[in-house]
Amino acid sequence: MRIRLFLLFVGLLTLVLIVWHIGPGQIYDAAAQLGPGALLVLLIPSVIMYVIEAYGWKVTLGPSAKAIPFWRVLAIRTAGEVVNMTTPSAYVGGEPLKAYLLKKHNVPMVEGLASVIIAKTTMTIAEVLFILLGIALGVWLLGGNDSSGQTVAAALLSVGLLAFGTAAFVFVQRQGLFTWLLGFLRKIGLKIAYLEAREEQLRSLDRTILSFYRDNRPAFYTSTGLFLLGWLSEALEVYVILYFLGGPAMALSAISIGALSVFIKGGTFFIPGSLGAQDGGNLLLLRAFGYSDVTGITFALLRRFRELVWIGLGLLCLTFVGGRTVAIQEELTQDSGDGKAG
């Protein structure tokens, strides 16, 4: 906890120093060009992204969730995402919460957990494809030199490791993720009472995941494609922001910037909110594409504005579909291994 607080402090200090170095007045003048109408337009791409990604999750849900209206699935996912964004959990802390909220609508916990694991997998696969597209476009648009060549090589190595990890995760899921985990823990002489007491439920979860991969390949590919469209909505947001900041806004550059900013954010997950690192990374990224430092940091701050809006909406959704947070956390602890809805 102390390390994370230290990283949060360093990130905040970094952001303050960047703003101070560039000049708060210049940043204010750039942002002042955008009226309330423009700020609302800037939110449209993220609305599209949330809707598409909710569909990407919905197609992985089992038969018990078919009767749940889409707007409620969207609200549940938005509530879970606010936990991912605001807690130090590497963007996975909200996934069990989504399964719990589904359980309140008579979706068995096993079915709900299976869906969030599968959806997280298809989302990550789409993310890797998006980043690879962004790197390829960046190399093509910016040209190559010794320095950029080393940067691209490092980026490709990092994405390659992510792709390998994702492929390995899919492979382990197909072999029985939780059964394998229990077996591994037993081999090293470590028995966790909570997991041991829920061995049958964990095996049922493995069977549900395996059944999806074996019998629902169209849904798997559809979910991956939808999440890829969701990631591409990030590029639309980049295009719109740059357009309102005076441009030039170009579609291919927007895709590359959007993908590489996702890469930067993912690589700095250990910093709460990627504070400072994400903002400085976006500044350097836009500078590489020929934009001024003022445009770069204003761009980063506008994206922070969008995050704050969605944090607020996520908290509203959490209140609407989840009730009291304390009660949620208590029931998650008690019921995370249950195979039937309570």
Answer whether 119's CB lies under 8 Å from 57's CB: yes
Question: Domain total for the chain?
Answer: 1
pLDDT reading at 153 higher than 80:
no
Q: Is residue 341 part of a domain?
A: no
The pLDDT confidence band at residue 330, using thresholds 50, 70 and 90, is very low
Q: Is residue 340 part of a domain?
A: no
The pTM assigned to this predicted structure is: 0.83
77: CB partners within 8 A, 6+ apart = 50, 53, 54, 57, 98
Report residue 4 as tokens: 């994370």
246 Cα distance to chain centroid: 29
Answer whether 90's CB lies under 8 Å from 325's CB: no
The pLDDT confidence band at residue 1, using thresholds 50, 70 and 90, is low
| pLDDT score recorded for residue 329 | 45
Mean pLDDT of the chain: 82
Give residue-wise pLDDT tens across range 264-323.
887 777 777 777 788 888 898 898 888 989 999 999 999 999 999 999 999 999 888 865
Q: Is residue 293 part of a domain?
A: yes
In this prediction, residues 5-32 reach a mean pLDDT of: 82
Stronger pLDDT, 58 or 249, i.e. the higher one: 58
Give residue-wise pLDDT tens across range 120-149.
999 999 999 999 899 888 888 887 554 555
In this prediction, residues 231-247 reach a mean pLDDT of: 92
The pLDDT confidence band at residue 248, using thresholds 50, 70 and 90, is confident
Q: Is residue 342 part of a domain?
A: no
Q: How far apart are CA 223 and CA 60, in angstroms?
A: 7
Report residue 152 as tokens: 């691209």
Q: Is residue 20 part of a domain?
A: no
| pLDDT score recorded for residue 335 | 46
pLDDT reading at 28 higher than 50:
yes
pLDDT reading at 87 higher than 80:
no
Domain extent at residue 115: 2-9+25-335
Q: Is residue 257 part of a domain?
A: yes
Burial of 134 (0-12, 13-18, 19+ CB in 10 A): buried
Q: Is residue 17 part of a domain?
A: no
Q: Is residue 106 part of a domain?
A: yes
